[in-house]
Homo-oligomer: A and B are copies of this chain.
Amino acid sequence: MSSRETQRLILDSALRLFNQHGSPNVSTNRIAEDCGISKGNLNYHFRTKQEIVLTLFWQMSQETLAESALEDGTAEERTAALFARQLGNAWRYRFFVREAAALLREQSILRRRFADLRRRNAGEWRRALGDLAAAGRMRPLPPEPEFELLLGAVFVHCDHWLHFVETQDEEIDETAFAHGYETLLLLLGSYLTEVGRAAMHRPAAVDAAAGQFLAYITPPPAQGRHRAMAESQTLTV
């Protein structure tokens, strides 16, 4: 197994275990055991659990900011795709979303990177909502203090909707996504025009976004997802 493959194995295992048990409950020993490698081998790649968390955060940032999926289609399709990606990442890295306050308190480097990611992410939503307004789907965007609150509401919803669904004892599937999307529209409700409301509720658009969401949260079969991403990037270059 190459060094790169070992790192991939460790990160995939850590992510799965952190999501399932919470990162404080998972030791590096347990990750090594889960990977079927020695503790020494794991230590060679990651000296501490903090390093694993930091690398997973970096990986999440890369996936969060992979913009290719958001370039095509109408303004409402791009917004739905953005929502699918954000909900998908919040679920794939749910240990991070839930433990964020504690993790950020522990590592100042994570705090800076997190602030940076959120800023870029806010930029994407700003653009998506701006495009909706330009296409007549939304009324002109509200001025700054109100717009910040709207963005905050969108972030809270994206980060925590599926946690809410999980504590309701319901499945994380297309239906959970569709309900989350309907709730997003409800949140944007007083800004949507009639035309916008109709366009954003189109079943085909919701189904397409639900499909993207499922692709995000389905675990990759032995690095298949990463390879597929690399290939598609090669193709589009």
- CB within 8 Å of B: which residues of A? 21-22, 24-25, 98-102, 104, 111, 114-115, 118, 146, 149-150, 152-153, 155-157, 159-161, 163-164, 166-169, 179, 182-183, 186-187, 189-190
Contact = CB atoms under 8 A, between A and B. Distances in A.
Contacts of A101: 98, 163, 166-167
Contacts of A100: 163, 167
A100 B166 CA distance: 9
Contacts of A186: 146, 149-150, 153, 187, 190
Contact of A104 (B111, B153, B156, B167): B167
Instruction: Kindly list the 7 A-B residue pairs having the minimum CB-CB distance in the complex, ordered from nearest.
Output: A189-B190, A190-B190, A24-B24, A160-B160, A24-B25, A101-B166, A149-B183
Contacts of A168: 118
A125 B98 CA distance: 25
Nearest to A189: B190
Contact of A164 (B114, B156, B161): B156
Contacts of A98: 98-99, 101
Contacts of A163: 100-101, 160
19 contacts: A21-B24, A22-B99, A24-B24, A100-B163, A101-B163, A104-B169, A111-B169, A118-B167, A118-B168, A149-B182, A149-B186, A152-B183, A153-B183, A155-B164, A156-B156, A156-B161, A159-B164, A186-B187, A190-B190
A149 B175 CA distance: 12
A101 B169 CA distance: 9
A140 B68 CA distance: 42
Contact of A159 (B114, B150, B152, B160): B160
Contacts of A179: 149, 152
Contacts of A149: 179, 182-183, 186
A95 to B, nearest CB: 10
Nearest to A25: B24
A22 B102 contact: yes
Contacts of A169: 104, 111, 115
A160 B98 CA distance: 10
